[in-house]
Amino acid sequence: MTQFYFFLRLLKESFRDLIPIILVILFFQLLVLQTVPEGWLATSIGMVIVGIGLAVFLHGLEIGIFPVGEKLAKDFAQSGSTKWVLIFAFAIGFGTTIAEPALAVIADKAAAISSGRIDAQILRYVVALSVGFAILLGVYRIIKGHPIHYYIIAGYILVVGVTFFAPKEIIGLAYDLGGVTTSTVTVPLVAALGIGLASTIKGRDPIIDGFGLIAFASLTPMIFVQVYGIFVYNFVEAKEVAQVVIEAKVSQTIAITPQSIIAGILNVVKDVLPILAIIFFFQYAILKKSIENLKLVVIGFILVILGLYAFILGLEMGLFALGESMAYQLTQSGYMWVIYAFAFAIGFSTTMAEPALMAIAKKAKEISDGKIHDLTLRLFVAFGVAFGIALGAFRIVDGGQIHYYIIFGYILVIVLTYMAPKHIIPIAYDSGGVTTSTVTVPLVAALGIGLATNIDGRSPLIDGFGLIAFASLFPMITVMAYGIIVERMGVKGDTELSKEEEKVSKLHGSLEGLDDMTMSTINLDASGLSHSMKLDFSAVIIIVPRGSEDDALHAAKEAGASGVTIINASGMGLAELDNFYRHKPEESDKLLLFIVPSMIVDKIIREIVKRLHITSDGDGIAFTVPISHMKGISLRQEDIFEKKVKEELKKKKSHKM
């Protein structure tokens, strides 16, 4: 039942995040173009399917991919085998990229661009090798504890240096490949790997060292593909190939049949299968350990597959066709400001609905102790993507060279790197990779090709690519700006706020004064016998919204709680109390009651407050009540409590020393 309520919350959030896309489409379609889109019913149904698929996908991530990825990373770190950690990192990068559907499509286009010089299959292997090398290099950085910006800045210099030698036909394509290689499934698993390693290795910070792997995976393909392009354009002769003309035309909406559903699910399974194979091989063959909660993990992966299929199906049912149609109509309108406005709006709205960004933002909030707000982070990333796509559209219209824009952007990133707080830099670098995935790429690609096709003097094969590169670059700038603003405003994390509240409570008198009280008597009724137990107990009471109780339970368990009583509850505000007799309260809250030794109360409260962000932007109430007499504790519970108290006393003594 708890998982069901958690899914309902995700469903609500998914539809909330899709609203901006719907509003943008309606505004430009009805008010600017003043036409009713064909197939509007299919588009509407598709958007509903997108919302449901997104919620199912995120639910699967939470119970399947994230736990397995983090556990694998921790097991590898604890094993002390650097060699196998690096091999696993390479395998994850290579295996997930070679199966990327978007990469296969772009590789076929690259073969046409180069008049057959570039082989589509070889290009896919080049990109997959580059991503595998990137994840390996990123994991090596975490193990060694090197600052990420040294690697990234060196990478930017290499990208820019190679660009001046690369043929113009390959530059835009290489830049775009840096964005499309970080897919919806790859991003969460790679993020879990980095955070899991940084959480396990002594001296590493999960937020400073854990993020950054996605940034490496976005950077290296730009270098590898340009080097490969230099080689083939100098040593491989052009072949007689059929000319491929890319036109901005309206796609046809798809028909849903049992055969198409099965084929679609099988395609998603094919994309996810390499990841599963790698995980099971390293888990059972190398680590020789079974996967904890295997049944739940399998269910999680099934939900990821079904959710991703529903998500893609919903997009194909009309949104892609509508986006391509609008891009074509806008280029024919003759009003350039409308094109830039549409580029900005579609970039912003699609990014806000990006599943990979949601996963990363949620993880960033969790490990940053609430200092980074997930929704605010997504807004800054979305603004960066929107500005980047609008600027990229201007570049196509103006006819400027893409590498000049990219070089200026890299210079700005480097400058901000030395100004931004350390904890935001890896997240900023990663945000450039997670924004170009399932939702953004098709609509952005349609816009770029549509512009280049319909503007005189522009080539869709040379000028049409590059918008994805802009969409990957500018979020890094806006996210670092967000970090600088947060730092200047003095925003504090949940732990810092909790410590301040503890100081205030000590000044006004707190429960710590109970240490001098007479110990309460504990009766053991299980066997009819009783004895005294010299230990103070307190009741910890937590009231949280339905769906948040799992996080509270995990935090309390880690802090030492051995049992809990869960009660359905309904809350009312002052306005509802004024109309009490008309109000029908709904059970929207959960009350969690823990009976624990007073010595570990502070630790439990601190962990729950931190996990649920109660002192910052989270909902909930946490308080304690001292207990003078209690009956019903079992012998097993007594042993557990005494062990926990001894551990706490040992910790306090070690801190004093």
**By three-state DSSP, how is residue 542 classified?**
strand
Q: Which amino acid is at 168?
A: K
Q: How many CB atoms lie within 10 A of CB 322?
A: 22
Q: For residue 434, which of 368, 392, 479 has the smallest C-alpha distance?
A: 479
pLDDT tens, residue by residue, 147-172? 888 888 888 889 888 888 888 778 87
Measured distance CA(512)–CA(599) in Å, rounded: 9
- Of the segments 62-66, 313-317, 455-459, 596-600, which one has the largest average pLDDT value? 596-600
DSSP designation for 583: -
Phi/psi of residue 35, nearest 5 degrees? -135, 145
Q: For residue 69, which of 135, 164, 144 has the smallest C-alpha distance?
A: 135
pLDDT at 287 over 90: no
pLDDT score at 184: 59
User: If you average pLDDT over residues 520-548, what whole number do you get?
Assistant: 65
Structure token pair of residue 426: 């890896």
| Spatial contact of 357 and 436, defined as CB atoms under 8 Å apart | no
Higher pLDDT, 435 or 566: 566
Under the banding of pLDDT at 50, 70 and 90, the label for residue 524 is very low
To 10 degrees, what angle do helices 213-235 and 425-434 make? 50
How far is Cα of residue 317 from the mean position of the Cα atoms in its chain?
A: 25
pLDDT score at 494: 61
- Of the segments 360-369, 407-416, 430-439, 503-512, which one has the largest average pLDDT value? 407-416
| Residue 84: C-alpha distances to residues 42, 200, 286, 391 (Å) | 49, 16, 8, 43
CATH topology for the 511-656 domain:
Alpha-Beta Plaits (3.30.70)
- Look at the alpha carbons of 563, 565, 570, 575 in this order and tell me if their dihedral is positive or negative: negative
User: If you average pLDDT over residues 516-545, what whole number do you get?
Assistant: 61
Under the banding of pLDDT at 50, 70 and 90, the label for residue 632 is low
Backbone torsion region of residue 585, taken as left when φ is above 0, otherwise alpha when ψ lies between -120 and 50, otherwise beta: beta
For the ranges 294-303, 447-456, 550-559, the lowest mean pLDDT is seen at 447-456
Structure token pair of residue 262: 């099965």
How buried is 108 (Cβ within 10 angstroms: 0-12 exposed, 13-18 middle, 19+ buried)? middle
pLDDT score at 224: 92
- Of the segments 222-226, 272-276, 347-351, which one has the largest average pLDDT value? 222-226
Under the banding of pLDDT at 50, 70 and 90, the label for residue 348 is confident
Q: For residue 155, which of 436, 383, 402, 432 has the smallest C-alpha distance?
A: 432
Under the banding of pLDDT at 50, 70 and 90, the label for residue 245 is very low
| Spatial contact of 621 and 560, defined as CB atoms under 8 Å apart | no
Q: What is the largest CA-CA distance in the chain?
A: 94
User: If you average pLDDT over residues 86-105, what whole number do you get?
Assistant: 77
pLDDT tens, residue by residue, 554-597? 888 888 887 888 888 876 655 444 444 444 455 578 888 988 88
For the ranges 39-43, 276-280, 303-307, 553-557, the lowest mean pLDDT is seen at 39-43
Q: Which single residue is written with the structure tokens 């207990």? A: 627
User: If you average pLDDT over residues 80-102, what whole number do you get?
Assistant: 79
Tell me the β-bridge partners of 567.
591
Under the banding of pLDDT at 50, 70 and 90, the label for residue 101 is low
User: pLDDT > 70: what percent of the chain?
Assistant: 71
Measured distance CA(412)–CA(8) in Å, rounded: 42
Exposure class string for 485-503: b at 16+ Cβ within 10 A, else e: ebeeeeebbbbebbeeeee
Tell me the β-bridge partners of 630.
522
For the ranges 170-174, 224-228, 246-250, 423-427, the lowest mean pLDDT is seen at 246-250
Measured distance CA(458)–CA(452) in Å, rounded: 5
Under the banding of pLDDT at 50, 70 and 90, the label for residue 250 is very low
pLDDT tens, residue by residue, 219-232? 898 899 989 888 88
The C-alpha angle 19, 23, 28, rounded to 5 degrees, equals: 155
pLDDT score at 282: 84
For the ranges 126-130, 490-494, 551-555, the lowest mean pLDDT is seen at 490-494
- Of the segments 189-203, 504-518, 621-635, which one has the largest average pLDDT value? 189-203
The C-alpha angle 540, 543, 547, rounded to 5 degrees, equals: 125
Q: Which amino acid is at 197?
A: L
Structure token pair of residue 634: 């079992």
pLDDT score at 514: 40
Measured distance CA(590)–CA(562) in Å, rounded: 18
Structure token pair of residue 642: 């005494």
Tell me the β-bridge partners of 625.
539
pLDDT score at 15: 76
Under the banding of pLDDT at 50, 70 and 90, the label for residue 515 is very low
Structure token pair of residue 126: 């080049």
Mean residue pLDDT of the chain comes to: 75
pLDDT at 263 over 70: yes
pLDDT at 383 over 80: yes
The rounded radius of gyration (Å) of the Cα atoms in the chain is 27
pTM of the model: 0.63
pLDDT at 303 over 60: yes
DSSP designation for 400: -
Break the chain into its structural domains and give their ranges. 2-491, 511-656
H helices present in 315-373, as ranges = 320-333, 336-352, 355-367
Under the banding of pLDDT at 50, 70 and 90, the label for residue 509 is very low
User: H-helix or E-strand containing 381?
Assistant: helix 374-398
pLDDT score at 508: 45
Measured distance CA(627)–CA(357) in Å, rounded: 46
Q: Which amino acid is at 649?
A: L
First to last CA, the chain: 47
**By three-state DSSP, how is residue 354 classified?**
coil
Tell me the β-bridge partners of 590.
544, 568
